[in-house]
Amino acid sequence: MNTADHPAAWSFLSQIWDSLQGDDKALERVRFEGQGALRSPFAVTDLAAASFAAAALALSDLIATADGGKPHIQVDRILASGWFDLPIGPSQPLRPSPRQQLPHKWMCEFQTADDRWLRLQATFPTLRSRIARALGTREDPAEFETAIRKHPAEDIERLLVDADAAVALSRSVDEWQQHPQGLAVAAEPVIHTDTTDEGQDTWRPTPQRPLAGIRVLDLTRVISGPMATRFLAACGAEVLRIDRPGSDESTGFFGRGSDVMLGKRWALLDLRTADGHAQFLRLLAEADVLVHGYRPGGLDSLVAPHVRAAVRPGLVEVTLNAYGWTGPWKDRRGFDTLVQFSTGLADATTAWALADPQHRTPINALGTLVDASRPRHLPVEALDFATGYMIAAAAIRALAHRVTTGQGSVSRLSLARTAAMLIGEGHVPEEAELRLPLDGPYEDAVFVSGDGRPVKRLRFPVAIEQTPLLWERPFEAAGSSVPKWSTSG
């Protein structure tokens, strides 16, 4: 292990691995390679590489419980950055076509009466309607802009948060670190895990397909959770995603199917009905892993934690939220770019860009070039993606713990704690600029996507000795599967 090479990547990996209670000697099995970085004052490329490394290292330790072997891991920093790109890859059509763009008009920021910036996340109809009701406007960006401009920043943020909207005021790093929520998050571990009761599990990993036989119940949305469960599927797990019929995501942009769903099945089930609730408990009773990231308290109001524990002793549960698990904002809604605004990442990135406008502006912000008058974001949704692969690492580590002790566990992560880790590394020296999307290297195969198109895929950023990562099924659209496991327990 040579920590002189890519020191930020090693720093991140050490922090993540320590929070997973991993043995420091295991880090010697990891090697980072690749020169260049995404243009940012923060170590975004190294965070991407470290999060993949943590998931792979957890898998290596799990394999060791089966045959004593401890596979070595190679991480490509450049490919890791490319896998953090939006729209979500890694598949690309064989024939060049216009890049699919996300609906940016509902992911934007507006100035307040005191000339501060307020970021809105309104891509989902439910979120748009809450903002419109609170502002007394139609669902129109121009009307939102006019209404927000009439209010001081703190007042309009509070008004919209109280209306259950997803918004964030731009703060500096110093403001956030002195804020009660920033102080609370700083005191939390990167990953917090509590052990639970033992189950009657006899499953053991298969070295070349480590998670074969593992069932993952996926109650996640958007980016972080789906990235975690997609990685688990690549390791051989059966992943069943559940959404409520008519939910924003199942009927919207992602509901048609995308690389988010590679390797998984996607079923619809309404837990608010008696039949749906009963079927969910049947699924949970045969699950090994539950990953969820709904609004704070959302799942607990439908299936309480003590009920989940009783239905499935030994369950590995991993959950995430936006703003941390302690402090006054622990129940606050949030998304990656909102947390960037709150924690000062956006403010610091904007200041960095404007300090050298010839070379740093316009800067790519989530797939869109912006001029010098607009706030900047990180070049990718690094908080979402990195937290996602750390969720995968937590789940795999917990499975290894269950193999050796029989105990289940509950692990908690947050976007804000990932942001604190990224900020804590400080500004990093600039490297040769890495531009997205990447054009290779690709897998030595052609795949058929869920919509029938032939595609090529970027290689995985991690290579685990004698342990291929692959998806056994293409993506599918919402509701394509039934809410049942493929085989009975």
Taking the C-alpha atoms of residue 359 and residue 334, their distance in angstroms, rounded to an integer, is 31
* Chain segment 9-20, per-residue pLDDT in tens: 999 999 999 999
Angle at 393 between CA 387 and CA 394, to 5 degrees: 90
Per-residue model confidence (pLDDT) at position 362: 64
* pLDDT grade for 191, boundaries at 50, 70 and 90: very high
* pLDDT grade for 87, boundaries at 50, 70 and 90: confident
Strands of 167-169's sheet in order across:
107-111, 117-121, 167-169
Average pLDDT, the chain: 93
Is residue 54 predicted with pLDDT exceeding 90? yes
Extract the tokens encoding 123. Answer: 């891509």
Per-residue model confidence (pLDDT) at position 394: 98
Extract the tokens encoding 372. Answer: 């010098």
Taking the C-alpha atoms of residue 120 and residue 160, their distance in angstroms, rounded to an integer, is 10
Helix axes 336-343, 382-405, angle to 10 degrees: 110
Is residue 358 predicted with pLDDT exceeding 90? no
* pLDDT grade for 359, boundaries at 50, 70 and 90: confident
Per-residue model confidence (pLDDT) at position 195: 96
Angle at 212 between CA 208 and CA 218, to 5 degrees: 130
Mean per-residue pLDDT, 391-411: 97
Phi, psi values for residue 200, rounded to 5°: -115, 45
> Residue 448 pairs with which residues in a beta bridge?
454
> Residue 201 pairs with which residues in a beta bridge?
none
Per-residue model confidence (pLDDT) at position 302: 94
Is residue 1 predicted with pLDDT exceeding 80? no
Structural contact between residues 47 and 386, judged by C-beta atoms closer than 8 angstroms: yes
Per-residue model confidence (pLDDT) at position 294: 86
Taking the C-alpha atoms of residue 228 and residue 394, their distance in angstroms, rounded to an integer, is 10
Mean per-residue pLDDT, 222-229: 96
Query: Which of these, 248, 106, 239, lies nearest to 167 by C-alpha position?
Result: 106
Structural contact between residues 235 and 469, judged by C-beta atoms closer than 8 angstroms: yes
* pLDDT grade for 456, boundaries at 50, 70 and 90: very high
Residue ranges in 247-335 assigned as alpha helix (H): 248-251, 274-285, 298-302, 305-311
Per-residue model confidence (pLDDT) at position 488: 57
Mean per-residue pLDDT, 6-31: 97
How deeply is 473 buried, as exposed, middle or buried, from its count of CB atoms within 10 A (0-12, 13-18, 19+)? middle
Per-residue model confidence (pLDDT) at position 86: 81
* pLDDT grade for 73, boundaries at 50, 70 and 90: very high
Is residue 285 predicted with pLDDT exceeding 90? yes
Per-residue model confidence (pLDDT) at position 482: 97
For residue 282, the number of C-alpha atoms closer than 13 Å in the C-beta half-sphere is 11
Among 173-177, 362-366, 469-473, name the one with the lowest average pLDDT: 362-366
SS3 string of 359-374? HHCCEEECCEEECCCC
Is residue 295 predicted with pLDDT exceeding 70? yes
Per-residue model confidence (pLDDT) at position 68: 80
Cα–Cα distances in angstroms (integers) from residue 378 to residues 76, 200, 337, in the given order:
20, 45, 8
pTM: 0.96
Is residue 102 predicted with pLDDT exceeding 90? no
